[in-house]
Amino acid sequence: MDEESGSETKEALVSAFAEFGGTYLRDIWLFDQHDFEMLFLREDVADKLETVDVEKFVDNERFGFITRDTYDQLYYASYQYTVRGFTDFEQFRMFFDDDERNVGVFASFDLQPGGYDYESLYRHVSDIASGYDVPTVTSDEK
């Protein structure tokens, strides 16, 4: 995939998450087995992340590559996404279909009464991603 189409893919992902979460969207991270890339970071969240080891946080999300394979072997249905609830936000994570690489994305959203329809987010992001190559992670300065 050339750099321009990779950029277009990432812009489409950001648009999909922003459309879903609006001002509640906190951050978006693209990651693979070795690197990660911040696609969006709200200013107030950036301030909070100054004291967090983001690389360790992303490493934890990489365990999902293994659990996805495990779920696919154990269950009659395919894994789609994970949602985690924290005191200040909820985090959504999904993976892209690629036979050669493991690539995932996670995003967080401020809590809101009634919650979110993450199934619709998964379908929306999957539909958009189907029109592009699986994005390539451009390593951030760590």
> How many Cβ atoms from other residues are within 10 Å of residue 56's Cβ?
8
- Note the pLDDT of residue 67: 87
The CA-based angle 137-142-68, given to 5 degrees, is 45
User: 82: part of which helix (H) or strand (E)?
Assistant: strand 81-85
Q: What pTM, to 2 d.p., does this model score?
A: 0.88
CATH code for the structural domain at 3-129:
3.30.450
Neighbours of 87 (CB within 10 A): 5
Planar angle of CA 114, 24, 142, nearest 5 degrees: 130
pLDDT at site 132: 81
Task: Name the one residue in this structure whose structure tokens are 């991270």.
Answer: 29
Query: Can you list the residues of the chain whose pLDDT is less than 70?
Result: 1-5, 99, 140-142
- Domain extents in the chain: 3-129
pLDDT at site 119: 97
Identify the pLDDT of residue 134: 81
